[in-house]
Every structure is written in structure tokens, then in C-alpha cells.
Copies of this chain bind each other. A is one copy, B any other.
Amino acid sequence: MPYTVQIKVMPLTELLDPQGKAVMGAIENLGITGIGDVRIGKHITLQVNADTEADAKKVAEEAASKILANPVMEYFEIEVEA
């Protein structure tokens, strides 16, 4: 069965995010108000063929921990859609 898996990879909260800081500055320069903080990471969509939703999640977790995220600087969250 085909599943769509959404993976969010973000910089660890205890680390600075220079890209986010730069975009925050640009947002202020544009005059957009009300935004207090910006953090920027990656979003990855996988098409996974698996028997069950749990299997699809397992495959995505393997891919995320082996190649998509760097655990020294990033954490990831996985969401499986049928």
C-alpha cells in the first residue's frame, strides 16, 4: 500500500539558527510586524510502499536517521498519511 510520509527536520532548539535570524531581519525590513522568531529547517515528502502504516513509519525513520537528518544539529518528526 502506498503511504505519503511527511518528515520535518529542524535545527535543535538549543542551537542558534543563523538562516532563521537572517530571514527575521528581512521580515522586519519588509515592515511585517508581529513575528517574534523564525526557525528554518527542511521538509521532506516520501512516497513509501509498505504493508502497514507502522512499516511505512519504520522505513521513513531509517531514512531520516541515516541520511535526512544530522542528529548533532537537527531533530526530525515523522507523520504518515494513508
Interface residues of A (CB under 8 A from B): 2, 6, 8-10, 20, 23, 26-27, 30, 32-50, 55-56, 59, 62-63, 66-68
CB A10 to nearest CB in B, in angstroms, measures 7
- Please tell me how many copies of the chain the complex holds: 2
Counting chain B CB atoms within 10 Å of each CB, the highest count among A34, A36, A38, A56 belongs to A34
Q: Which residue of B lies closest to A60 (CB)?
A: B35
A35/B47 in contact, CB under 8 A: yes
A45/B36 in contact, CB under 8 A: no
B46/A63 in contact, CB under 8 A: no
Task: Give Cα A39 to B48, complex, Å.
Answer: 12
A-B contact pairs, 22 of them (CB 8 A): A8-B43, A9-B43, A10-B43, A23-B67, A27-B67, A30-B63, A30-B67, A32-B59, A34-B48, A34-B55, A34-B59, A35-B47, A36-B48, A36-B49, A38-B44, A38-B45, A39-B44, A39-B45, A40-B42, A41-B44, A42-B42, A43-B43
